[in-house]
């Protein structure tokens, strides 16, 4: 395709390649425009609130890190390190990169700042941009945003369960109700080597049926063959030996306990024995979060797992750890797709109109008084024309307009116009905040009453159509299904087996 390659903008529409001389965003990177901000704000707020509620403290690490942090941490055989890092040399000659993921940075910070001496477990939370030189397509960008949770210093699977609980809580809080977790255990240094041998021997016997990439993976990182998207490999993978059938007793116990916790929490999940997550540092638990109906797709909403050896690999003391990260770009896309409601109503309820130079000066002060009292107010200080300012106030659908003319400025008064009734009165500067608060409260109460009335109308009309026998049958069926599912889960949790597996083409 060469020159004809398409770019993706923030609305996921394609853009022609930029014309010469016109500045555009770099390929795979996007502007997040004001109209999109309410979605992003909701994701950030919910994640931050949940982090706080579960005792995870915020950490920010630099966007630029030494490249060998990821070469060592994420692993030399991974796509991220082999193909996707934005690497450059500083003027001082340091080999650095734009961070492609958060976990190695947070682990580095944990070691660098001696967090080992803090009470355990150390629970950390981050939000920020990550950079991967991938082929841009829908849901896959070169600059993307993640939030992540990491726990250091605890090997108990209850923490694995808590992280899944946290992810579950965040997705529900954001308003994405239909998603599910896929889980696997990829063992530890005790049980994985013998499984690895078994897998290599199985794959070697079917080498010719594998794609070119998998032939290479077979030498470097055979587990990653299990994660391959190619159809021809899928046939081989579907018959391959599975790690969960070869776990040592410790890993088996760990995984079983995790599944039991999830059953207890009534969190929906399925076991995907082919889930390996593509990064070198994982041990035991790995999981991903998928939007409902798209489990076979390309765009997981998040993923994570246990990484008990990473801190040691990076030069720290042996420290068990577990974490996950979610892609905010994909979450926002999913919110839009599912028509999740977000609050666009940070719209000001007041508009400040000023006429003449003295009024203009006075309105700066009035604006500050209102804003510092928590009253959201809009203005158009550059305009002096009454009509154009009122037109703007109308367009913004504010409840009240404050007008200061030359005379009002001299008298230290202000005209308060109610945009709903059209009535207006004169109040003094000093009473403005008080009067507005009183009126805004009244307007809010009236709106609430109106919506209550509407609500009760709806309830009446719903209760008119009492549940038909057909409906109640459906309800009980659903109940049975849940019960069955629960039973299945607890059976499986006593011995992890192939549950709800899917042979699918995807990348995490």
Binding residue for ligand AMP, selected from 153, 303, 316, 348, defined by CB under 6 A:
303
Does 508 participate in binding ligand AMP (rule CB under 6 A)? yes
Does 300 participate in binding ligand AMP (rule CB under 6 A)? yes
96 contact partners, CB below 8 Å, separation of at least 6: 64, 65, 66, 67, 87, 88, 89, 90
Does 150 participate in binding ligand AMP (rule CB under 6 A)? no
- Residues that bind ligand AMP (rule: CB under 6 A) add up to a total of 18
- Reading the block at residue 10, the tokens are 């923030």
Task: Report the alpha-carbon distance of residue 323 to residue 311 in Å, rounded.
Answer: 13
Does 132 participate in binding ligand AMP (rule CB under 6 A)? yes
CB of 343 to ligand AMP, least distance (A): 24
Select 302 or 496, whichever has its Cβ closest to ligand AMP. Answer: 302
CB of 327 to ligand AMP, least distance (A): 2
Does 146 participate in binding ligand AMP (rule CB under 6 A)? yes
CB of 452 to ligand AMP, least distance (A): 40
Select 473 or 505, whichever has its Cβ closest to ligand AMP. Answer: 505
Does 301 participate in binding ligand AMP (rule CB under 6 A)? yes
Kindly identify the residues of this chain, within the stretch 163-222, that bind ligand AMP according to CB under 6 A: none
* Closest listed residue to residue 38, CA positions, set 347, 348, 397, 379: 347
CB of 413 to ligand AMP, least distance (A): 55
DSSP 93-154: --EEEE-S-SHHHHHHHHHHTTGGGSSSSEEEEEEEEEE-----BTTB-SEEEEEEEEEES-
Task: Report the alpha-carbon distance of residue 279 to residue 6 in Å, rounded.
Answer: 29
CB of 405 to ligand AMP, least distance (A): 53
CB of 55 to ligand AMP, least distance (A): 23
CB of 137 to ligand AMP, least distance (A): 9
282 contact partners, CB below 8 Å, separation of at least 6: 186, 276, 305, 306, 307
Select 81 or 203, whichever has its Cβ closest to ligand AMP. Answer: 81
Task: Report the alpha-carbon distance of residue 45 to residue 255 in Å, rounded.
Answer: 32
Task: Report the alpha-carbon distance of residue 309 to residue 315 in Å, rounded.
Answer: 10
Does 140 participate in binding ligand AMP (rule CB under 6 A)? yes
What backbone torsions phi and psi does residue 358 show, to the nearest 5 degrees?
-65, -45
CB of 23 to ligand AMP, least distance (A): 23
CB of 122 to ligand AMP, least distance (A): 20
Are the CB atoms for 209 and 218 separated by under 8 Å?
no
Does 65 participate in binding ligand AMP (rule CB under 6 A)? no
What backbone torsions phi and psi does residue 380 show, to the nearest 5 degrees?
-145, 70
Does 227 participate in binding ligand AMP (rule CB under 6 A)? no
Task: Report the alpha-carbon distance of residue 202 to residue 359 in Å, rounded.
Answer: 83
CB of 164 to ligand AMP, least distance (A): 14
486 contact partners, CB below 8 Å, separation of at least 6: 263, 266
Q: Name the segment binding ligand AMP (CB under 6 A); options: 36-44, 89-97, 299-307, 309-317.
A: 299-307
Q: Name the segment binding ligand AMP (CB under 6 A); options: 136-144, 150-158, 395-403, 424-432.
A: 136-144
Select 167 or 352, whichever has its Cβ closest to ligand AMP. Answer: 167
Select 105 or 432, whichever has its Cβ closest to ligand AMP. Answer: 105
Select 79 or 399, whichever has its Cβ closest to ligand AMP. Answer: 79
CA 48 to centroid of chain Cα atoms: 11
End-to-end CA distance of the chain, in Å?
Answer: 26
CB of 416 to ligand AMP, least distance (A): 49
* Closest listed residue to residue 258, CA positions, set 291, 295, 286: 286
The residue whose Cβ lies closest to ligand AMP is 327
Does 291 participate in binding ligand AMP (rule CB under 6 A)? no
Does 144 participate in binding ligand AMP (rule CB under 6 A)? yes
* Closest listed residue to residue 108, CA positions, set 132, 124, 92: 124
What backbone torsions phi and psi does residue 495 show, to the nearest 5 degrees?
-145, 105
* Closest listed residue to residue 41, CA positions, set 327, 325, 332: 332
User: What are the strands of the beta sheet with 57-58, ordered from one edge?
Assistant: 57-58, 122-131, 143-152, 321-327, 302-306, 283-291, 179-185, 269-271
Select 147 or 367, whichever has its Cβ closest to ligand AMP. Answer: 147
Kindly identify the residues of this chain, within the stretch 316-375, that bind ligand AMP according to CB under 6 A: 325-327, 329-330
Select 103 or 389, whichever has its Cβ closest to ligand AMP. Answer: 103
CB of 491 to ligand AMP, least distance (A): 29
Select 143 or 379, whichever has its Cβ closest to ligand AMP. Answer: 143
Task: Report the alpha-carbon distance of residue 154 to residue 143 in Å, rounded.
Answer: 32
What x-and-dash track marks residues 83-122 binding ligand AMP by CB under 6 A? Answer: ------------------x---------------------
* Three-state SS at 14: strand
Interface ranges with ligand AMP (CB under 6 A) = 101, 132, 134, 139-141, 144, 146, 300-303, 325-327, 329-330, 508
């Amino acid at each position: 395709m060469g020159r004809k390659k398409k770019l993706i903008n923030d609305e996921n529409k394609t853009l022609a390649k930029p014309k010469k001389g016109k500045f555009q965003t770099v390929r795979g990177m996007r502007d997040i425009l004001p109209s999109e901000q309410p979605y992003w704000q909701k994701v950030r707020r919910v994640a931050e609130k949940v982090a706080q509620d579960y005792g995870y403290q915020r950490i920010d690490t630099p966007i630029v890190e030494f490249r060998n942090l990821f070469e060592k941490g994420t692993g030399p055989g991974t796509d991220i390190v082999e193909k996707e890092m934005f690497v450059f040399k500083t003027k001082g000659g340091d080999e650095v990169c734009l961070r492609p993921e958060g976990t190695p940075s947070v682990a580095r910070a944990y070691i660098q700042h001696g967090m080992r001496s803090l009470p355990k477990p150390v629970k950390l939370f981050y939000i920020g941009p990550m950079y991967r030189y991938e082929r841009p397509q829908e849901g896959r960008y070169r600059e993307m945003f993640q939030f992540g949770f990491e726990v250091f210093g605890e090997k108990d699977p209850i923490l694995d369960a808590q992280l899944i609980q946290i992810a579950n809580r965040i997705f529900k809080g954001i308003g994405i109700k239909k998603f599910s977790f896929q889980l696997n255990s990829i063992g530890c240094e005790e049980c994985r080597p013998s499984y690895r041998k078994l897998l290599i021997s199985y794959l070697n016997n079917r080498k010719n049926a594998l794609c070119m990439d998998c032939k290479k993976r077979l030498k470097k990182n055979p587990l990653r063959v299990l994660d391959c998207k190619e159809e021809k490999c899928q046939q081989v993978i579907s018959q391959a030996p599975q790690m969960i059938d070869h776990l040592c007793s410790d890993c088996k116990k760990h995984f079983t306990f995790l599944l039991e916790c999830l059953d207890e929490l009534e969190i929906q999940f399925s076991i995907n024995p082919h889930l390996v997550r593509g990064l070198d540092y994982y041990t035991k638990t790995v999981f991903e979060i998928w939007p409902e109906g798209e489990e076979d797709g390309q765009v997981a909403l998040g993923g994570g797992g246990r990484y008990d050896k990473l801190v040691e690999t990076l030069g720290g003391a042996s420290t068990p750890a577990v974490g996950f990260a979610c892609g905010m770009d994909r979450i926002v896309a999913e919110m839009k797709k599912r028509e999740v409601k977000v609050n666009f109503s940070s719209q000001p309820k007041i508009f400040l109109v000023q006429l003449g130079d003295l009024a203009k000066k006075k309105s700066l002060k009035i604006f500050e008084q209102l804003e510092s009292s928590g009253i959201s107010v809009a203005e158009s200080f550059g305009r002096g024309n009454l009509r154009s300012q009122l037109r703007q106030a109308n367009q913004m659908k504010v409840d009240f307009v404050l007008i200061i003319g030359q005379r009002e400025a001299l008298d230290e008064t202000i005209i308060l116009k109610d945009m709903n009734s059209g009535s207006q009165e004169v109040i003094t500067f000093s009473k403005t905040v008080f009067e507005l608060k009183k009126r805004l409260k009244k307007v809010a109460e009236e709106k609430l009453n109106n919506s209550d009335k509407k609500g009760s109308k709806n309830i009446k009309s719903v209760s008119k159509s009492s549940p038909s026998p057909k409906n109640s049958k459906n309800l009980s069926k659903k109940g049975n299904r849940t019960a069955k599912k629960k039973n299945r889960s607890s059976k499986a949790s006593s011995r992890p087996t192939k549950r709800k597996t899917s042979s699918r083409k995807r990348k995490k």
